[in-house]
Chain A
């Protein structure tokens, strides 16, 4: 599953590229990738998790919060919502950004999802499966 933000970044959005010709659209058509519905950002858990992710990454990487990748918080928001609603028991967050991965796990753990989420380094995953 990918957040809508990730889909947009990969050129899936019609205003970014030619729909149907990007690998991500092929993956969605083939059924092995789904795009998550936009999380309800007014939910206290979701908004708190996103705030915590921003704070963690800002502190660990000295990145100003306004210059952070929006996909990082979107990953956390999707995970929080799915776990809270019981759509999933556990979540693996796969990212190539170590600060983001650690921040997402830290934020989710602090907001009631301890031991229900794990960061998987994207480069390591690719190496393991290729």
Chain B
């Protein structure tokens, strides 16, 4: 599947489901910190 738009670009909204957070686990989990870093990087570009 191609990328129809810049996923990190301005005007792109990320809407996230329950299971994603559950899969990332607790705050100490490296998946959780990766998600946090990813979201903050996206927010800084919006």
A interface residue numbers (CB < 8 A to B)? 1-3, 6, 9-10, 23-24, 26-27, 30-33, 36, 71-72, 75, 78-79, 82-83, 87-97, 100, 115, 118, 122-123, 125-126, 129-130
Contact = CB atoms under 8 A, between A and B. Distances in A.
A94 to B, nearest CB: 5
B contact patch SS: helix
B42 to A, nearest CB: 8
Contacts of A129: 34-35, 37-38
Most buried by B among A82, A95, A100: A95
A97 B20 CA distance: 10
Query: Interface residue tally of chain B, by bracket?
Result: 20 to 34
B16 A1 contact: yes
A95 B27 contact: no
Interface of B: 1, 3-5, 7, 11-24, 26-27, 30-32, 34-40, 43
Given A10-B21, A122-B19, A122-B23, A1 B12 contact: no
Given A23-B27, A32-B36, A129-B37, A92 B19 contact: no
Contact of B13 (A10, A82, A97): A82
A96 B30 contact: no
Given A90-B4, A92-B15, A118-B4, A130 B34 contact: yes
Contacts of B16: 1-2, 6, 33, 94-95, 122
